[in-house]
């Protein structure tokens, strides 16, 4: 308990610097990204914004003068948010003693996987380096510098080769998935191999231990359930991605609440809408009810609802044991979601989306 008392007291202070849903609505109400930037300069992100602007405006910087034109406000904000995210979660690690820090690092594994998926998808789509980095969450072993180097790699194979030279264990599942990618031209095998390695490694790290290890195991099972649900629904969204047999092989069997039988039932649906409705017979019926009356169903919206569910679970863990690992889990999820929400607000403003159109894409903890 002593390991967590000091850390959790510090985390509660850090939670006080989160903006939260009311502030999101204030930002959404701003007329432009320039106005939004001005408002953020009055928030806890002011120091990060000022530091980022100073760096980018330094003599010789290729982005000198950034923030002076409307299209560049978003780039300034995104870079500042990325740096502040790294800074805050680095503080979280420093506050943690040995075992709590190990558990936090275990949870951070998922973000290395997320970032690699983002970069691989971007390479396939020939996305610009800056656009790729704007979608990453550099809070795992792959830091900002490493992700920037991977984003500059010319091909997916070059990404794999670069990670291999660093002797990162995650290079092996990426390589295995890439072999299947060459055979199917689908990124599903690549993403599954990354997920399978990530969860196997994470569960290995918490295979035995105290009540806090058990909390992390249960949370990991929820994350695996989320991944399994999305795998099934992505298959239904694009029937050419995987055959039913292949899809069944891509089930993460971690003894979660979403069982293999339920997974196979959803995969066998005739389309995405029916597959979603079949979730009504699982512990994730809330997701099915959410979209039951909507005319159209978009896969990214479903993913947002699953992220909302994960965030609620994390917050519930923090209330169940305020002197355990639950509070660090909650803060980790809150901080990452805040940065992603702020990015969404900035992009929504730049695209001219109406306030309600931006709000529906946010993941909130209220």
The model's pLDDT over 73-119, given as tens digits with 9 standing for 90+, comes to 888 899 899 999 999 999 999 999 889 999 999 999 999 999 999 99
For the chain, what percent of residues have pLDDT higher than 70? 92
The pLDDT, as a whole number, for residue 68 is: 41
The model's pLDDT over 11-68, given as tens digits with 9 standing for 90+, comes to 999 999 999 889 999 999 998 888 999 999 999 999 999 998 887 775 554 444 434 4
The pLDDT, as a whole number, for residue 67 is: 40
Q: What is the DSSP string of 11-69?
A: HHHHHTT---HHHHHHHHTSSSHHHHHHHHTTSTTHHHHHHHHHHHTSTT-TTTTTTSS
Of the spans 73-82, 177-186, 258-267, which averages the highest pLDDT?
258-267
| Arithmetic mean of pLDDT over the chain | 88
> CA distances (Å), 52 to each of 49, 65, 109, 313, in order?
5, 12, 27, 34
For residue 323 the two structure tokens come to 């002197």
136 C-beta neighbours (distance < 10 Å), count: 22
Whether residue 236 has pLDDT greater than 60: yes
The rounded distance, in Å, linking the Cα atoms of 144 and 124 is: 21
Whether residue 240 has pLDDT greater than 60: no
The pLDDT, as a whole number, for residue 64 is: 41
Q: What CATH number labels 1-95+339-366?
A: 1.10.132.50
In which band, very low, low, confident or very high, does the pLDDT at 179 lie, cut at 50, 70 and 90? Answer: confident
> CA distances (Å), 168 to each of 163, 171, 172, 207, 258, in order?
6, 6, 8, 22, 31
In which band, very low, low, confident or very high, does the pLDDT at 242 lie, cut at 50, 70 and 90? Answer: low
The pLDDT, as a whole number, for residue 131 is: 85
Whether residue 256 has pLDDT greater than 80: yes
The model's pTM: 0.89
For residue 142 the two structure tokens come to 């792959």
Q: What is the DSSP string of 278-321?
A: HGGGSTTHHHHHHHTT-S---HHHHHHHHHHHHHHHHHHHHHH-
Q: Which of 70, 68, 95 is nearest to 12 (CA)?
A: 95
34 C-beta neighbours (distance < 10 Å), count: 16
Domain ranges of the chain: 1-95+339-366
Question: Count of H helices and E strands in the chain?
Answer: 19, 0
The model's pLDDT over 126-172, given as tens digits with 9 standing for 90+, comes to 998 888 888 898 999 999 899 999 999 999 889 999 999 999 999 99
Whether residue 245 has pLDDT greater than 90: no
Classify 247 as helix, strand or coil: helix
Whether residue 69 has pLDDT greater than 60: no
237 C-beta neighbours (distance < 10 Å), count: 16
58 C-beta neighbours (distance < 10 Å), count: 10
Identify whether the C-beta of residue 231 lies closer than 8 Å to the C-beta of residue 258.
no
């Amino acid at each position: 308990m002593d390991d967590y008392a000091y850390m959790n007291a510090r985390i509660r202070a850090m939670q006080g610097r989160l903006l939260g849903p009311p502030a999101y609505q204030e930002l959404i109400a701003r007329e432009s990204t320039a106005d939004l930037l001005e408002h953020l300069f009055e928030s806890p992100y002011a120091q990060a914004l000022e530091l980022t602007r100073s760096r980018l405006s330094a003599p010789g910087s290729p982005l000198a003068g950034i923030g002076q034109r409307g299209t560049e406000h978003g780039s300034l904000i995104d870079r500042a948010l990325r740096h502040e995210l790294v800074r805050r979660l680095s503080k979280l690690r420093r506050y943690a003693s040995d075992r709590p820090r190990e558990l936090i690092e275990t949870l951070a594994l998922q973000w290395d996987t997320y970032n690699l998926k983002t970069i691989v998808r971007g390479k396939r789509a020939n996305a610009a380096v800056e656009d790729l980095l704007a979608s990453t969450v550099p809070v795992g072993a792959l830091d900002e510098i490493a992700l920037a180097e991977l984003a500059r790699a010319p091909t997916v194979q070059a990404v794999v080769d670069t990670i291999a030279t660093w002797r990162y264990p995650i290079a092996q599942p990426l390589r295995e998935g890439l072999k299947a990618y060459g055979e199917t031209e689908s990124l599903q095998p690549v993403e599954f191999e990354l997920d399978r390695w990530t969860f196997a490694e994470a569960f290995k790290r918490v295979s035995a231990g105290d009540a806090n290890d058990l909390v992390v195991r249960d949370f990991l099972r929820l994350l695996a359930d989320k991944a399994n649900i999305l795998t099934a629904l992505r298959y239904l969204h694009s029937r050419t991605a995987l055959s039913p047999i292949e899809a069944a092989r891509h089930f993460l069997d971690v003894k979660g609440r979403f069982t293999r039988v339920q997974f196979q039932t959803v995969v066998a649906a005739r389309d995405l809408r029916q597959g979603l409705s079949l979730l009504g017979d699982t512990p994730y019926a809330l997701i099915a009810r959410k979209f039951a009356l909507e005319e159209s169903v978009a896969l990214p919206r479903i993913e947002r609802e699953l992220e909302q569910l994960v965030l609620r679970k994390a917050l519930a863990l923090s209330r169940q044991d305020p002197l355990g690992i639950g509070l660090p889990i909650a803060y980790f999820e809150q901080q990452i979601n805040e940065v992603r929400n702020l990015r969404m607000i900035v992009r929504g403003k730049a695209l001219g989306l109406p306030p309600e159109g931006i709000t529906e894409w946010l993941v909130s903890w209220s």
